Amino acid sequence: MSDKPGSRILLGISGGIAAYKAVELVRRLRADGAEVQVVMTRAAAAFVAPLTLQAVSGRPVRQALLDPQAEAGMDHIELARWADLLLVAPATAHLMARLALGLADDLLTTLALATEAPLVLAPAMNHRMWTNPATQEHLARLVARGVRVLGPASGAQACGEEGPGRMLEPAEIVAALAPEAWPGRAGHRTGPLAGRCVLITAGPTREPLDPVRFIGNRSSGRMGYALAAALAARGAAVTLISGPSALAPPPVADFVRVETALEMAAAVMERVAGCDLFVATAAVADYRPAAPAAGKIKKAAAALTIELVRNPDILAEVAALPGGPFTVGFAAETERLEEHATAKLRAKGLDMIAANRVGTGAGGFDTDDNALVVLWPGGRRAFPLMPKTLLADQLADLIVERYLASLAG
């Protein structure tokens, strides 16, 4: 048995013409170092011979739930425990419906209920079946439970029609399962964000004037740290990139400390590929001194002028990435909160923005409490003043809701 984490793959094959691609898929998964146990539905066996899959996987194919011989070896519960990942390719409309309902009327659907391993589907079906509201409802339900869905691709179909419903190519499926493409897979967490990767920034940045002085702001990191913990508690593999903060790191998968906006931008851009969500809670300096002095600036002239240059807008750059993550920005405003936040939502091309009033009254920078108005295209929700930990919990639920809705629709 391989020791490589995530290398024991239960490959479920359901009954569609794309089942023939499963042979190549098994070959590629094994070449990638995985152990593959194939489980076929009765209909799948009409499209591709179990003996072929036994030959390429090097293991007897499992088909029946109540098979005394197979159950005497590794029974279905043991098989469910064995798996690091349950991949169903192709996943037909019928199989997705059974999974959405939680039926356990054959070995594959029983394993899907019994395993704690992440479930990944590569759907394949006629394009009208894919766009049918029934299939889309099942898809939304599965995605909301944390199921990862790869594809389908659009193009010519076996039935001679064109549209979305083609199963992804085996190489594309294998690439999507790689740790670089799916950082959230490690650790097998549970919750609505299980298997998802979240990158979040928090705290202030410091822009050096000389070796001892900097331009900074009053962000403590409290809002961002609380949100990072709340998203991790929902199953996500969270990477927190933090500017200088006195807080202890929250329980996240990865914690990266930076100082300047340029360092924060580099840390984000190095890690954003393959991430599902990006949340920008940091108060990033918009400008930095053009030429920080090498030595301590001496008190000489009556006035001192410092030239500032623009820092990269990290959030806008991430939102503009082709195929980039679901992006959630923050807006810190001293006046006309919703008007300015709406302008930022549009200008930066964000999926959501959480606006807070700063510099006046309660909430905002460096306090325990905060209030937010969250805006997204076509929607709005207001959260009254409350402790940032509680607020982060409620905001995390809304982020999950909007993110899952974006996947489904």
Residues that bind ligand PMT (CB under 6 A): 201, 219-224, 261, 280-284, 286, 311, 313-315, 329-332, 344, 356, 358, 364-366, 388
Closest to ligand PMT by CB, 96 or 280: 280
Amino acid identity, position 174:
V
- Output the smallest distance, CB 402 to ligand PMT, in A: 16
Closest distance to ligand PMT from the beta carbon of 363 (Å):
8
Tell me phi and psi for residue 81, to 5 degrees. Answer: -75, -35
Cβ 186 to ligand PMT shortest distance, Å: 26
CA–CA separation, 253 vs 197, rounded Å? Answer: 10
Tokens of 182: 């799916």
Judge contact between 76 and 114, C-beta under 8 A: yes
In 102-198, alpha helices (H): 107-114, 127-131, 133-144, 170-177
Nearer to ligand PMT (CB atom), residue 211 or residue 384? 384
Shortest Å distance, C-beta 405 to ligand PMT: 21
Spatial separation of the C-alpha atoms in residues 136 and 92, rounded to whole Å: 13
Task: Give the count of beta carbons closer than 10 Å to the beta carbon of residue 347.
Answer: 11
Q: Is 159 a catalytic residue?
A: yes
User: Which residues on neighbouring strands pair with residue 207, listed in sequence order?
Assistant: 215
| Closest-CA residue to 5 (of 197, 254, 252, 187) | 187
CA 37/CA 9 separation, integer angstroms: 6
Please report how close the Cβ of residue 392 comes to ligand PMT at its closest, in angstroms.
10
Angstrom distance (rounded) from CA 185 to CA 248? 25
* CB-CB contact of 237 with 184 (8 Å): yes
38 versus 319: smaller Cβ distance to ligand PMT: 319
* Closer by beta carbon to ligand PMT, 29 or else 282: 282
| CB atoms closer than 10 angstroms to residue 319 | 22
Pick 47 or 383: Cβ nearer ligand PMT: 383
CB of 289 to ligand PMT, least distance (A): 15
Strands (E), 41-110: 85-91
CB of 394 to ligand PMT, least distance (A): 14
Q: In this complex, which beta carbon is closest to ligand PMT, that of residue 10 or of residue 332?
A: 332
Q: Which of 113, 134, 159, 291 is catalytic?
A: 159
Cis peptide bond N-terminal to 133, omega within 30 = no
C-beta closer to ligand PMT: residue 184 or 221: 221
Residue with tokens 């790689």: 178
* Residue 16 backbone dihedrals phi, psi, to 5 degrees: -140, 165
Query: For residues 79 and 280, which CB has a smaller minimum distance to ligand PMT in the complex?
Result: 280
Q: How many angstroms separate the CA atoms of 246 and 62, rounded?
A: 55
Q: For residue 389, what are the contacts with CB-CB under 8 A and spacing of at least 6?
A: 226, 229
Q: Return all residues near 338 (Cβ < 8 A) that are at least 6 apart.
A: 355, 373, 375, 380
User: Minimum distance from CB of 212 to ligand PMT (Å)?
Assistant: 24
Which SS3 state, helix, strand or coil, does residue 96 take?
A: helix
What positions carry a catalytic annotation?
A: 159
